[in-house]
A and B are shown apart, each in its own frame.
Chain A
Amino acid sequence: MAKAGTAAFAPQGSKEGTNNNTDVASDVKPLMGNEAIARGVWEAGVRVASAYPGTPSTEILENVARFPEQDIKAEWATNEKVALDVAIGASFAGVRAFVAMKHVGLNVASDSLMSMTYIGVNGGLVLVVCDDPGIHSSQNEQDTRLLARLAMVPVLEPSDAQEALDFVKQGYDISEQFDTPVIVRSTTRLSHTRSLVRVGERVVPISKGFVDNITKNVMVPSHARIRHPRLIERERDLAEFFNSSDLNRWERGGTEYGIITCGISYSYVKEVASDASVLKLGASYPLAEALIREFCESVDRVLVIEELEPVIEETVRKLGFEVEGKSLFPRVGEFSPSVVREGLVSAGLLPVAKSTPGLSPEPLARPPVLCSGCPHTSSYMALRAINARVAGDIGCYTLAAIEPLKAIDTCVAMGSSIGNAVGMYKAGTENRPIVATIGDSTFIHAGIPPLIDAVYSRADITVLLLDNHTTAMTGGQDHAGTGVNLRGKQTERVDFEQLIHSLGVKWVRKVDSYNLGNLYKCLQDAVRHKGVSVIISDRPCVLDPVKIKGTSFTVRAESCVGCQSCMNLGCPALSWSGELYDGHNKVEINQLECMGCSLCAQVCPSDAIYLPTEE
């Protein structure tokens, strides 16, 4: 659940479901894109919703869960494929179903998507997929529209929170009318922008129940061969439908040039070229070809302004029009009014803005860091000490790759660490101990099959399971290993030790992440063990589900020799005091930041760090 941080104001009762989402009294509300999507899901009469957390999509399901349980069953899934399979199951059973994920989550879910697109839907099914242009918090910036084209699934692209709500609802109508799953594509900027939204009532369609139809519901070769041509027909029908749908909007302006745009880019276009002719495409796949043709013929010059891949641009070019897009507007990164303006300036359509340089100081590097007291820190300090080759994974702990910890050598995708470690072992080139590090939520998401593989193939690797009892990176969501569900109620809990033993791992030990010496000894034993060894480094996250704050440690200035051993932790509570010892900076501890984990005291060779209560 999102935290108010240390702000002076905390929203009243936002956790108790008194969020204004559920209040139908006033019909215009300021909603974040993700809140608007959740509202749309509820209004569309959805009965089952599932997701795995991932920035920037996380808040969607959290907000869905603020609506009453009797309206909508919402639960975190173990991963995006499971989430989609749950939604597909609900659709089979005849109710409207919903699933949310970030762009890379769709990769995980794509196996199911590629088949279910052949099957179609019974109850309507909408996937909201949030792309991350600019890579604010992801491992890549892939464009979901390309995967949607591969799956031949229609894509709707809202430009603001109002459209996010409306398009989700329309998505369900399209889904049921055309017998197709529908993707609503958001981006970080849209998901995290709050604007005014007119909300409506919830309307629940009457459930059809399960509809027996073996050639449609069972994808075997003979059935799939029947369904594939239907898919191509469906694509053509959708394109025809979008030609006259109000999802696409033509805003008439001058004829000198016209801009085709979609999603959040539309708002930048309106910001910098408000008088231009604009074709705003709410449906970016399949494209409304007749409408586009008519638009292109009405202007002298056509520009396409779309974030990431030239999906629309290439289609317009195939229609036989000369079009400018990625030659003016970048294919990488997030757009902004400035990016759009620069493109239009270099196209000669806007005058060069006169700029008078003002005060522009050299910015301070402030990369994100592991929190004060983060239990991951000690795990990576210990890994440095045994000089391991470390395969990393996705989570807060990926931050251990950068200074000062510098203790992760690779990071690929969710759950990759263990498989990567197996491969490094099999390559036979590494003389350092090979260790895979993976968080609890990531382990459940995609770490179990590769661990089985490691045991099965007798890889001599160590797996360090960083169990902080939450999905920390995305803001502290529960998962199957926490025993608490999305609505905060107790449920079954996965026992990691039992699970790992049952997979055939002979060497499993659990250690307290805050006991650095023990962790180090344990790691030494683990890497000496021939075969797969697993250490569970166990401590709750200091932020979620509750912020942990103990007594702060203090530096005895006269004992500090400025050796910087503690600064190797990268703890945000530690900084230089301004005092020097033989030219070296002494350290001090920020009393508000320090939560008392004791790691700095454990590594201090001159015993300068102490707990004031012990004096």
Chain B
Amino acid sequence: MTTAVKPVKAPNTPPLTIPRPHNVLIVGVGGQGVIMISKVLATLCQEQGFEVKQSEVHGMAKRGGAVFSHVRFGEIVHSPTIPEGEADVLLALEWAEGMRWMPYLRQQSGTFIADTQRIVPPFACRNRTRGARTGYVGETIQTVMEQVENSFALDAMGIAKQLGVVKAANTVLLGALSTALDFPTEAWKSVISKFVPPQTTKVNLLAFDAGREWALGFDRESELRNIKDTRSLHQESTVEAGADYSRVEITEEWCKGCDICVKFCPERCLIMNEKLIVEMAEPELCTGCRMCEWLCPDFAITVHTPNHVPL
């Protein structure tokens, strides 16, 4: 770490008298603590004598959905929400959420700070075919660093773990955020102390310092050279997705109508017909998982998948 690195700031980061509102957009997934981080920042801005507006949306967001909070401060703040393309800082607690809000970042001068943590929603794992890939965003740390001048991707959870308190990851991020805003370190710490449970004040302040030091020591050039983690969650697969078409062969004479395959089929594509013999009702839903073949006590079902390699 070198002390020569200047605090990371957008070139237009204003001095403490500013003509226009300063905009910080904080984003993440429900339950991560987006709202609490915003409250800390909003309180800090207020204590520093600014008018501040902080806007969030509750409701469905709580159920694991995307959460965002706009914090705007300045002499006069009108709109509670940040116009697209005008966020001076975009702080993402989760990688894909950072990508979602990227169009809100002020071009050239905006600072992007993201936790490299990835929360893959069940919705991204719903392609059932062989060789399916998760629907997670494809942008890697490298692509973002190359295209966004002031970008910082840190493993806040990892840093917090080293301090022994996983829950302090958000305070690590606040430490990183503090380098992009022109507030005294002591003011940050005093506000954080008011928000955290008293017995955790010490470790949270350590976490803040760790995040701050990480950002101050961040050397973009060497980071780009040494980047090992391309961090795309798109898996490589030997099977081409969707290339499969499975066919379920049912030997009717052997089926005694026990219903096991119908009940266990994960895609619900089998039914019992009026003769109480199993029948393929929705062949396009079949993923060729072979559950019916394996569970049939009478060997009445065989699943044919063209690309199947017997194990």
Q: Which residues of A contact B (CB under 8 A)?
A: 2, 4-12, 30, 55-56, 58, 136-137, 160, 188-190, 192-196, 264, 267-268, 270-272, 274, 336-338, 341, 355-356, 358-371, 384-385, 396, 399, 403-404, 473-475, 561-565, 567-568, 570-572, 574-576, 578, 580, 582-585, 605
Contacts and interface: CB of A to CB of B under 8 A. Distances in A.
Contacts of A56: 58-59
A366 B125 CA distance: 11
Nearest to B198: A12
A563 B293 CA distance: 12
B103 interface: yes
Given A8-B204, A369-B123, A337 B59 contact: no
Interface in B269-302: 287, 289-291, 294-295
A571 B195 contact: no
Nearest to A365: B123
Nearest to B239: A583
9 closest A-B pairs by beta carbon, nearest first, are A7-B33, A137-B59, A583-B130, A368-B63, A7-B36, A368-B65, A9-B195, A55-B59, A270-B78
A194 B53 contact: yes
B191 to A, nearest CB: 10
Given A11-B195, A267-B78, A369-B121, A605 B295 contact: yes
Given A358-B105, A561-B294, A570-B122, 20 more contacts: A5-B32, A7-B33, A8-B36, A8-B171, A8-B200, A9-B192, A11-B39, A30-B43, A136-B59, A194-B53, A195-B52, A270-B79, A338-B84, A341-B83, A358-B107, A364-B96, A366-B29, A567-B125, A582-B290, A583-B237
A267 B79 contact: yes
Interface-central residue, B51, B79, B130, B144, by most chain A CB under 10 Å:
B79
B153 to A, nearest CB: 14
14 contacts: A8-B33, A8-B170, A9-B204, A30-B42, A58-B58, A267-B78, A268-B79, A338-B84, A367-B123, A368-B60, A369-B123, A370-B63, A475-B58, A575-B125
A237 to B, nearest CB: 33
Nearest to B61: A368
A160 B76 CA distance: 13
A356 B144 CA distance: 17
A210 B284 CA distance: 70
Nearest to B240: A583
Q: Is the interface of A mostly helix, strand, loop or mixed?
A: loop
A8 B123 contact: no
Contacts of B37: 7
A245 B126 CA distance: 58
B126 A567 contact: yes
A4 B36 contact: yes
B13 interface: no
A57 to B, nearest CB: 11
Given A9-B36, A356-B107, A576-B134, A565 B264 contact: yes
B75 to A, nearest CB: 13
> Interface centre among B100, B138, B168, B204, by most A CB within 10 Å?
B100
B119 to A, nearest CB: 8
A69 to B, nearest CB: 26
Nearest to B122: A570
A364 B121 contact: yes
A575 B124 CA distance: 9
B120 A575 contact: yes
B139 A568 contact: no
Contacts of B264: 565, 605
Contacts of A268: 78-79
A196 B46 contact: yes
B142 interface: no
A361 B147 CA distance: 12
Given A195-B54, A359-B147, A567-B122, A9 B170 contact: yes
A582 B308 contact: yes
A195 B54 CA distance: 6
Given A8-B169, A271-B78, A565-B266, A192 B57 contact: yes
Given A6-B33, A189-B81, A571-B122, A385 B263 contact: yes
A473 B65 CA distance: 13
B128 interface: yes
B4 interface: no
A271 B63 contact: no
A484 B139 CA distance: 48
Nearest to B128: A564
B183 to A, nearest CB: 16
Contacts of B107: 356, 358
B258 to A, nearest CB: 15
A358 B268 CA distance: 44
B207 interface: yes
B56 interface: yes
B137 interface: yes
B85 interface: yes
Contacts of B171: 8-9
A58 B59 CA distance: 10
Contact of A585 (B84, B121, B132, B294): B132
B311 interface: yes
B83 A337 contact: yes
B167 interface: yes
A434 B141 CA distance: 51
B250 interface: no
Contacts of B167: 6, 8
Contacts of A367: 65, 121, 123
A572 B64 CA distance: 8
Contact of A30 (B31, B46, B124, B237): B46
